[in-house]
A and B are shown apart, each in its own frame.
Chain A
Amino acid sequence: MENSWTSWLFLIALAVVALLFWPKTGLFVAISRWRELRRRERFEDALKHILAWEQRRQDATPESIGGALGLVQSSALSLVADMEERDLIHSTGGALKLTAEGQRLALHVVRAHRLWERYLADDAGVPMERLHRAAEKAEHQLSSERIDALDAHLGHPERDPHGDPIPRADGSLEKDNAVPLTDWPVADIAWVTHIEDEPDVIFHQILSTGLRPGKSVRVIENTPECLVIDDGVQEHRLVPVVAANIQVAAEPVNTERPVGLRSLSELAKGEAAEVVELGSMCRGFSRRRLLDLGITPGTRIEASLDNPFGDPRAFRLRGTVIALRKDQGDQIWVRSIGEKTTTKDLSASDCYTNPEEIKRTAENAAQGISEA
């Protein structure tokens, strides 16, 4: 018995030593690799920061980098010196500029970040508030090949889930399609994306109205003298010169329920309805999947089975039975067709969108090719 205890101790000691010093996977190697990775992450974060400031036409400085990355002055300075040595940035009179190589690397990281967010939101179903942090990690770990593959897999998306443009493979970055509030069509809902902080007087006037990035507003009236907008609480009157300093874009997602429609989840067991549309929240992979199963506008669908827990429920359509969870059913909008309607009453033409439309799009595309 005593003998076996000593052997146990010896074995444990052996395991600990192996854990520490094993080549490639040992703790020491892991720590040095981790430090190397941290260093690269800092480089890339700093490049991203400079790019972001360049796009806002501001000059990044070692201080601003230190602030953004949470570094003390001396570390920030040595980081900048390191990057200059590697020819990623050059400084002109205190202002830091990206070199061509630095620009390429920065765009690569931004592209990785935004594509990854798109992927997490669409394919992995990660909630909005967790996207940014996850992408902050992943952006440093994705190779160009993987990013290109991801881009193709996602169908070359142009914007990330926050509405920011995704840099393309060739490094071109679409200008943000935010427009001044003065150019926004009347009655449409707009999403405030940016408020110019210069000049000061106008900036403060805008702030005093309570408008902030992220708020949605509706333009009620737009004349050369005055712009009337409604932010859901009260109306504001702005002179065009002020309103022009508010940048707006289309609302990122429309969560509103279409008028007069019910969601599939609200059908009682045995009740039949007709699919009107898939909600705009339903995107990416899950939208594709629902379409592929034949849940297209005009399809007759019937709630056919509940289950012991009430979720998921099974629906009958096109001669098959398909189970869907409640959060998917919530995104499918249907219209009642009454109990008596049979499949026969729905003629083929009701069930699909005009093929002419498709044909037209294809023709336009063909024309585009021959024009070029």
Chain B
Amino acid sequence: MSKSLSTPQNILDRSDQLRRALDGDFRDQVVSSLYGEAQRIAERAVRRDSSNKWDLDQRIDRIVTSPVFGLPMMILILAAIFWVTILGANYPSAMIASALFSLEHQAALLFESWGVPDWITGFLWHGVFRGLAWVVSVMLPPMAIFFPMFTILEDLGYLPRVAFNMDWLFRKAGAHGKQALSMAMGFGCNAAGIIATRVIDSPRERLIAILTNNFVPCNGRFPTLIMLATIFVAVDFPPVFASIAAAGAVVGVVLIGVVFTLLSSWMLAQTMLQGEASAFTLELPPYRRPSILRILYTSLIDRTIFVLGRAVMTAIPAGAVIWILANIEAGGTSLAQHVASFLDPLGYAIGLDGVILLAYVIAIPANEIVVPTLMMVYLGADLMTELTSFDEIRALLVDQQGWTLLTAVNLMLFSVLHNPCATTILTIWRETRSARWTTIGALMPLIFAFVVTFLVATLWRALV
């Protein structure tokens, strides 16, 4: 090697020079030869037995991506999952609730007999513990059913087919078909869904997927939706069809969320994130037999326990805050009442009330605690009523608090459209590293929620 190449700079310069001398399709040639070599080795070393697994896969694919059955099947599968979740979670939820609330009751009595001051007992057991009990009983059973079923779909390889079916819609909205995958993850947790957008290569389309992921109701919001569907929708149907009607209502809300995902994607693609559709390549992997043990592990340990743990961690301080708000009085009424009546005009304008808005403010760290917060503020500090069945909840909301069908509808809409939880906002920040996009990601859904619920409330009051 000659002397002139002795320094790294010279080598860099030389390589720079040589790079310019390369053909334009040099990369093509390299890749082609790599594939050629790989194929030659594969042909020598791999023996294929003529199994008909491939044909079976193809036959399944023909059905699930069929022009006629493809989309209805997607919706049916989603509805079936919700139905099983609602049906299966109802009874265990009530059992866990009554067990935990009787524990609260016993413990409070025990504290009393020891002579512990009232405010400590109240704070610990009627504040912190009750918040915890609500979260566990409302969330654990649906999650323990929903997550494994969803993991089965994932494991089977069905989700890429969903992305394949939906891509055309996303492309019309100026987004990427793989957004369907991150949305599917969003059903579990929006923060996870936002991390899943990494599969989208184009920065523009990825940003769209990040900013709109929140319109998929996550697991923390399902309890609210399921409760409302059960109380307000299912009640008008005979018992046999009640759970089906509830599942149908939840699917309807999810579809509204999907419509808003597409709408907001389209709006972003028309304004802040203009550009053409990028390359769309999506592999449809062969179907696999799900391994039951792994599914139970990933869905119960990784997801259920993780999400529940997070909910519990936020429910404990939230329970404490609610108890303080409900028990510290100023001028004869509790702080919670003060804040709620302050928020009331705004709540009324969008068909809700001040307590619901207060619950959403307290629930910013985690959406899971919206319903528990609602209940605790409605019940007040010293009410010992334990709500263990949907009938009792209905009695409280409709008869005592004056909820109407409008409240229920708007709460469902608000729940799907409102701002993401703190964890999700933090994840948007981590993924985009931009204060601007994080702010847009947090505020855009909130504006949507207010506008939509305001319009619905105004129209409803004008027409009904």
Contacts and interface: CB of A to CB of B under 8 A. Distances in A.
B29 interface: yes
Given A124-B204, A306-B65, A156 B71 contact: no
A5 B285 CA distance: 59
Contact-residue bracket for chain A: 35 or more
Contacts of B16: 156
B276 A355 contact: no
Interface in B31-65: 31-33, 35-37, 39-40, 43, 58, 61-62, 65
Majority-rule SS of A interface residues: mixed
A4 B344 CA distance: 9
Contacts of B165: 307-308
A322 B282 contact: yes
Contact of B164 (A7, A120, A307): A307
A352 B284 contact: no
A197 interface: no
A314 B164 contact: yes
Interface stretch (B18-26, B221-229, B252-260, B386-394): B18-26
A294 B342 contact: no
Nearest to B5: A372
Per DSSP, chain B at the interface is: helix
Interface in A4-36: 4-5, 7-8
Interface in A60-87: none
Interface stretch (B167-175, B209-217, B241-249, B304-312): B167-175
Interface string B333-364: 00000000110110000000000000000000
B258 to A, nearest CB: 15
A305 interface: yes
A358 B29 contact: yes
Contacts of B66: 308
A294 to B, nearest CB: 5
A338 interface: no
A156 B277 contact: no
Nearest to B30: A358
A135 B346 CA distance: 44
Nearest to A365: B18
A353 B35 CA distance: 10
A126 B204 CA distance: 10
A7 B354 CA distance: 15
Given A124-B203, A307-B70, A285 B4 contact: no
Contacts of B65: 305-308, 314
A138 B432 CA distance: 18
Contact of A323 (B14, B169, B281, B345): B281
Interface string A110-142: 000000000010011111001000000000000
A322 B43 CA distance: 21
A304 B167 CA distance: 17
Contact of B282 (A8, A291, A310, A312): A312
A361 B40 contact: no
Contact of A325 (B19, B167, B204): B167
Contacts of A8: 345
Interface string B161-187: 000110111010000010000000000
A365 B344 CA distance: 76
B164 A372 contact: no
A125 B32 contact: no
Contact of B32 (A287, A348, A353, A364): A353
Interface in A288-305: 288-294, 296-299, 304-305
B237 to A, nearest CB: 31
A285 B279 contact: yes
A291 B27 contact: yes
Contacts of A357: 29
A304 B58 contact: yes
Nearest to B14: A372
B275 interface: yes
A255 interface: no
A125 B279 contact: yes
A351 interface: yes
Contacts of A192: none
A5 B345 CA distance: 9
Interface residues of B, number: 64
Contacts of B284: 305, 314, 320-323
A339 B177 CA distance: 31
Nearest to A282: B279
Given A306-B65, A309-B168, A370 B70 contact: no
A294 B42 CA distance: 14
Contacts of B283: 293, 320-323
B28 interface: yes
Nearest to B57: A321
A311 interface: yes
A306 B67 contact: yes
A4 B345 contact: yes
A260 interface: no
Contacts of B10: 372
Nearest to B346: A8
Interface in A154-180: 155-156, 158
Contacts of A5: 345
B298 interface: no
Given A127-B276, A296-B32, A361 B281 contact: no
A368 interface: yes
Given A304-B58, A348-B40, A125 B168 contact: no
Nearest to B61: A305
B37 A124 contact: no
Contact of A370 (B1, B68, B203): B1
A238 interface: no
Contacts of A309: 167-169
Nearest to A353: B32
Nearest to A311: B168
Contact of B277 (A285, A299, A325): A325
A327 B277 contact: yes
A282 to B, nearest CB: 9
B121 interface: no
A352 B70 contact: no
A155 B277 CA distance: 22
B61 A348 contact: no
Contacts of B344: 4
B204 A368 contact: no
Interface of B: 1-2, 4-5, 10, 14, 16-23, 26-33, 35-37, 39-40, 43, 58, 61-62, 65-68, 70-71, 164-165, 167-169, 171, 177, 201-204, 274-285, 341-342, 344-345
27 contacts: A123-B202, A124-B204, A125-B276, A125-B278, A130-B274, A156-B19, A285-B201, A285-B278, A286-B279, A287-B28, A289-B201, A291-B32, A292-B31, A294-B35, A297-B32, A304-B58, A306-B67, A320-B283, A323-B282, A324-B281, A348-B39, A348-B43, A352-B36, A361-B26, A368-B14, A368-B18, A370-B1
Given A5-B345, A305-B284, 8 more contacts: A7-B342, A278-B28, A307-B65, A308-B65, A314-B164, A348-B40, A368-B18, A368-B21
